[in-house]
Structure 1
Amino acid sequence: MTSTVRGTQLARLLGQWHSLPGRHRSPDYVALAAAVRGLLSDGRLPLGVRLPAERELAESLAVSRTTVSAAYRTLRESGHLTSRRGAGSWTTLPNGHRVATSGLWAAGDDRDVIDLGVAAHRAPDELLGAAQAAVNEDLPRYLGSAGYHPTGLVELRDAVAAGYTARGVATSAEQILITAGTQQALDLVLRLSVPAGSPVLVEAPTYPNALAALSARRARIATHGLDTATGWDAEMLLGALRQGRPRCAYVIPEFHNPTGHLMDAGLRERLVATAHAAGTELIVDESFVDLQLDGDEMPPPVAVFDRHSRVVSIGGMSKAYWGGLRIGWVRASAPLVQRLAAIRVGVDMASPVLEQLVGVRLLEQSERIVAARRTELRTRRDVLIDALREHLPEWTFTVPGGGVMLWCELDGPISSALARAAEDVDVRLAPGPRFGLDGTLERFLRLPFTLPEGTLVEAVKRIASVRYDLDRGIRPSWRSPAVIA
């Protein structure tokens, strides 16, 4: 699935390429080539995308064709562009460089380490009471049965359906499948919808474990780049759907992981319409939908605009409640839910009854639990921002209106080196390349603000100390990275 970027689109991505640092010392073609390489390394320009013809780009940039031709030649020489007569030129990385896309490694249980690789919270105070009530009051009525409920307990499905209805999407329990977390929800949908070798479109950056699930399905992954400051480029996202006509597209419209962006209502509506026209199924990850921290009103769910059963929504209780409570779900048409349940029987039969009952009890207290979580996160976000501005002022970021993380642009392509160095001061980080494909995003780092305020400040101080060690050429020893969630 090779998509094409038009001259006007690439010109918009390049922005003020002729004013980049060092521009006054470089010929135009050198500066243009460097700007394209920067887009590739930051993940804003996907790999494998066909660039516009030389004449088209020259007209869009208001430069000579000779300048574009020389820039393309420079990119070919550096390994960032591959050209074939009659077929055009498409983006690559030099020397076949690739990194693994799973981003998943086993983490130790070292309590002295500040773990900023996992964007998740401690359990809410209400969990223990909910578990006790579930055991004493709810569980006994299920003990006389076999305990297998492939689609989930009806009371939990009712509660999840009621949540969607309250957000403006009329939903019945028959449209809900309960899963062992949001990751299993995604895995089941991919098992049903993505045969091996199918083209799939994802955002760049995106959630690492989604990339792992797609790689396990042997999907052909194409990316749409998100701008660090503004989020989705509507023209390029919808163009990628029209040109590539992927089997599925995986998107995170609510407080995107890792950038924190919130997709506006207009783009949501256009996304659904374009996906329908392209024959693409939308997989919408709503993991962070409950965690709005600023603003008055949330955009409607993507499923509001679905008239043709092209939208499958997935979500769960990990982010707003607790990751240790493995409760997730799929919202789809009732026939699709039944097909997913049939696949699920061959995976793990059903979710644990007791955990589902605890989930029901927590959802009954959702207004109080989520409000407390939002207040806590708002405070911690602001503390993290203040610490970064004090100790790492060269780093930039857009303050998210919700979610649990900052997506920081660093002062150099040092993300992986910084993550390795941080382990020597007992801080685990999620470096930018874990959120993309093929070694890009080295200028970025995801920092969650789920830990206590004092811990966040201490973590930033330690990160700052090793950041400056990198400038002095100190090389840390390698350690295995942590789970990224």
Structure 2
Amino acid sequence: MAIDRKQTTVFDAAVFDAETLAKLVGVIEVDGQPLYRGIADGLRRVIADGSIGTGSRLPPERALSHALGVSRVTVTSAYRELREKGWAEAVHGAGTFVASPAEETSWGTMMHPPSAGVLDFVNAAPEASPFLPDAFAAAIGAVDSLLPGHGYAPTGTQALRTAIAARYTVRGLPTSPEQIIVTAGAGDAAHLVFETFARPGNRVLIEHPTYPGAVEVLDSVGAVPVPVPIDAADPDAFVDDADRAARQNAPTLAYLMPDFSNPSGARLSESGRGRLSATMARHGIVTIVDEVAADLVLDGSPSYEPFGAPTPGTATISIGSFSKTVWGGLRVGWVRSDVELVSRMARTYARRQLSVSIFEQATAVHLLDSFDDILAARRTWLLGQRDLLVSHMRAELPDWDFRIPDGGLSLWCSLPDGTSTQDVVRRAASRNLLLAAGTRFGTGYAFDDKLRVPFTRPSGELGRAVRILAETSSGAAGEGHPVEPAELVV
């Protein structure tokens, strides 16, 4: 059974009349389920794609039932379904309003100690590199010589800044230690950059989907994200789309992940990177380049020079860390830019952070001494993990679509038609599998049909996770772990 309605364009209004909403919903697919659930699914789709914003009031049940040609009881049941799933809320005496559904599970992840029997796939973060213990041991001797001093290094120790600068120089971007600030991880680096350069009301061009933490930082400083679609199947199309968005919105900053973007896995080609760098320079946009996954090249794909290298005078700020190559528990990151921009960031950083741990900086210096070996080992391991996850997914979830990434840490999956990422996450949580819903990686309600599945967990857990997804991706969720806001997703 299907109720045929003409699909129209997106409306922007706080209150939707019944006829307008009926047109937005379009064809109501039932496929054997109760009619009210088909209507609820249709309403959820137009909420998820941003056609109706959070806080908008839905039409009265009687009016919508007339517009759809169904009984009022059916619409009442559909609204109840939306409320139970977190997509709407009733306000006594005022009506039913669009709500933001509870975010995906975070129980047992970074906010809490690991729990036995819980599969944590919320975060795309690998276990520690086997090279790390030796680096810790070597750092102890190096720190001994620093103990007579005060122990503060506001922009980072000279040894570490020199080592990081040398790494950029080898990659094709000549860099001096004065162009580096050491931070407490990549997240801290992003906070530093936005705190220094973003002002309330500033527009910031971002990839869509993108790293959730970046959107949250923008929100905290009052900046406005300008989302530009990124597609791993055709990543260079982003260049023209970004050019168009820059002309229309006049952003002052851009936050980009040109190498194995989280979560899409997109990677710009060498020519695409050059064109995008030139485009940002032409528009006078300061470009923040997140290179956290840049070294995680798989399948023998080429290693490109750092973003902005071929465009002299480009205002580029690069962010890096050891979180994906070595270990997230080693809180060492950095920013790299020209001396003038670094000087401005250094003044900001000094106001809130006297120094990153000297011991961890000494450890990082030793890691960079053998970084090529560390990368080779990490890449080999990730390649095996990726291929194992792909084999499980194809065998047990053949109707899930994804592109095998050339690097990075996860698969970005398109769910079967009519499947909500929020529902998948809740059902998986009932079986102790924790995931980050696709909506976590976008603005508004985008990507309700997507799910990120990392391949960074132990091999045995990959198979168990896919089996749970295959068993729970349809049907009602059972009893299990509570669904709480996922405040940290990496």
Taking structure 1 as the reference length, the TM-score comes to 0.80
After superposition, give the CA deviation of every residue in 1:96-131 in whole Å (9 maximum; x if it has no partner): 456499989663221421111111111112211111
Aligned counterpart, 1:214: 218
Secondary structure of the equivalent of 1:302? coil
Q: Which structure 2 residue ranges, 5 or more long, are not aligned?
A: 14-18, 27-42, 57-97
Alignment of 1:372-451 (within 5 A): 372-411=377-416, 412-451=418-457
Aligned counterpart, 1:323: 328
Give the partner amino acid of 2:266. Answer: H
Q: CA separation of 1:421/1:102 partners in 2, compared to 1, >3 Å: closer, same or farther?
A: closer
RMSD value, Cα: 2.9
Aligned counterpart, 1:5: none
| Deviation of 1:465 (Å) | 1.3
Q: CA separation of 1:364/1:228 partners in 2, compared to 1, >3 Å: closer, same or farther?
A: closer
Aligned counterpart, 1:93: 52
| Deviation of 1:355 (Å) | 0.3
1:267 aligns with 2:226: no
Whether the 8 Å CA contact 1:113–1:428 is kept in 2: the answer is yes
Give the partner amino acid of 1:409. Answer: S
Aligned counterpart, 1:86: none
Whether the 8 Å CA contact 1:428–1:481 is kept in 2: the answer is no
Alignment of 1:334-349 (within 5 A): 334-349=339-354
1:186 aligns with 2:190: yes
Whether the 8 Å CA contact 1:179–1:327 is kept in 2: the answer is yes
CA distance in 2 between partners of 1:382 and 1:455 (Å): 14
The count of residues paired between Structure 1 and Structure 2 equals: 417
Q: CA separation of 1:200/1:296 partners in 2, compared to 1, >3 Å: closer, same or farther?
A: closer
CA distance in 2 between partners of 1:378 and 1:477 (Å): 31
| Deviation of 1:353 (Å) | 0.3
Whether the 8 Å CA contact 1:98–1:438 is kept in 2: the answer is no
**Which consecutive segments of 4 or more residues in structure 1 shift more than 3 A?**
70-81, 94-106, 473-478
CA distance in 2 between partners of 1:313 and 1:179 (Å): 12
Whether the 8 Å CA contact 2:103–2:437 is kept in 1: the answer is no
1:157 aligns with 2:161: yes
Aligned counterpart, 2:241: 236
Aligned counterpart, 1:87: none
Deviates more, 1:417-426 or 1:71-80: 71-80
Q: Which structure 1 residue ranges, 5 or more long, are not aligned?
A: 1-21, 41-46, 49-69, 82-89
Q: CA separation of 1:185/1:167 partners in 2, compared to 1, >3 Å: closer, same or farther?
A: same
Whether the 8 Å CA contact 1:245–1:279 is kept in 2: the answer is no
Whether the 8 Å CA contact 1:102–1:211 is kept in 2: the answer is no
Q: Which has the higher helix share?
A: 1
Identity over aligned residues, as a percent?
Answer: 34
Alignment of 1:20-419 (within 5 A): 29-30=6-7, 33=8, 74-75=23-24, 92-94=51-53, 96=56, 97=98, 99=100, 107-109=111-113, 110-135=115-140, 137-227=141-231, 229-233=233-237, 234-411=239-416, 412-419=418-425
Q: CA separation of 1:285/1:101 partners in 2, compared to 1, >3 Å: closer, same or farther?
A: farther
CA distance in 2 between partners of 1:395 and 1:222 (Å): 29
After superposition, give the CA deviation of every residue in 1:409-445 in whole Å (9 maximum; x if it has no partner): 0113411111122112111101100000111101000
Whether the 8 Å CA contact 2:433–2:465 is kept in 1: the answer is yes
CA distance in 2 between partners of 1:364 and 1:111 (Å): 37
After superposition, give the CA deviation of every residue in 1:280-321 in whole Å (9 maximum; x if it has no partner): 110000000111002341232212133224111111110111
Q: CA separation of 1:456/1:80 partners in 2, compared to 1, >3 Å: closer, same or farther?
A: closer
| Deviation of 1:474 (Å) | 5.8
Taking structure 2 as the reference length, the TM-score comes to 0.79
Secondary structure of the equivalent of 2:261? coil
